[in-house]
Each structure stands twice: as C-alpha cells, then as structure tokens.
Amino acid sequence: MKEILLPIGLLRFSRKKRRGVSQRRVEELRAKIEMGEDVMPILARALHDGTYVVSDGRHRIQAHLEAGITVILARVKDILRG
C-alpha cells in the first residue's frame, strides 16, 4: 500500500458503503483539518479507469470538502480487477 494525495473528484463509494455520515463527526474532523492537525489517510483501491473505490474515510472526505480542500491523503491498495 502506498500513500498519495488524491483529488476527491476521483473517488467512488462501493454500494455496500453508501450509508450517511454523522454531521457532528464531520464538523470535528473539519475543525482539526482547519487547525492543521493530521487526520488519518482514507483507504482506497485503485480501479483501471483511474478512479478509486473508498473502503474507509467517508467522514474525512466530507470534512475536507467542507473545509474547501479538494485533495485528500489516501492509502491506496493495488488495482481492483474487473
């Protein structure tokens, strides 16, 4: 697994992970991001079409967007076959 900065626009969510987010948690994370604190990288798997499926990190992604940040640090797994 490697860590890279990904444009949020390249991220997708699996059908299994489409549940909502806690706005309270998003606000906590956004505050940390805006204060310059580190947040854990999201977990994603690369697809052949250049996009990434997110397996963990929905709240962190939303917090970045609300903070006006369009890239996010991700731990990327190998390309998903299929």
The residues spanned by each domain of the chain are 2-77
> Which CATH number, 1.10.275.10, 1.20.1050.10, 3.90.1530.10, 1.10.1740.10, labels domain 2-77?
3.90.1530.10
CA atoms within 13 A on the CB side of 57: 25
**Residue 77 amino acid letter:** K
Between 1 and 46, the more confident residue is 46
* Contact call for residues 23 and 63 (beta carbons, < 8 A): no
Within 10 Å of residue 64's Cβ, how many Cβ atoms?
A: 22
- The reported pTM is 0.88
The string of pLDDT tens digits covering residues 7-25 is: 999 999 877 666 678 999 9
Of all residues in the chain, the percent with pLDDT exceeding 70 is 91
